Amino acid sequence: QVQVVESGGDLVQPGGSLRLSCAASGNIFSQSVVGWYRQAPGEQRKLVALITPGGSIRYVASVRGRFTISRDNAKNTVYLQMNSLKPEDTAVYYCNVNSRDSYWGQGTQVTVSS
């Protein structure tokens, strides 16, 4: 069983930065597509960014140029560096590790507010 754990969420002022981490157990990580999703109150969970095993990256338009996804396979960890945060970035952020099966973490809360 693969366990996925997110961390790094916090309360931050508009314009601030946070770095989220997604750590996964098991030996499938390096072969997995890893995605960051977010869910705001009353909304569906949506993709924010993903990174493939080969390092290809995709961002949703609203975060392109502000967020950076990266992976460290030696540490079984994917990061999401979030800069120039806006109130509309407020959400619970979830990590998904997708190999033959799909695994989700419990989420980490990001609140952008003055």
Per-residue pLDDT of 2-59, as tens digits, reads 899 999 999 999 999 999 999 999 888 889 999 999 999 999 999 999 999 999 999 9
Lookup: tokens for 39: 């869910």
Residue 6 contacts residue 108 (beta carbons within 8 Å): yes
Mean pLDDT computed over 58-73: 97
Q: Beta 108-112 vs 11-12: how paired, if at all?
A: parallel
pLDDT at 93 over 90: yes
Mean pLDDT computed over 76-86: 97
Confidence band (pLDDT; 50, 70, 90) for 100?
confident
Looking up tokens 């924010």, which residue turns up? 48
Torsion 91-89-18-49 (CA) sign? positive
Query: What DSSP designation does 74 have?
Result: G
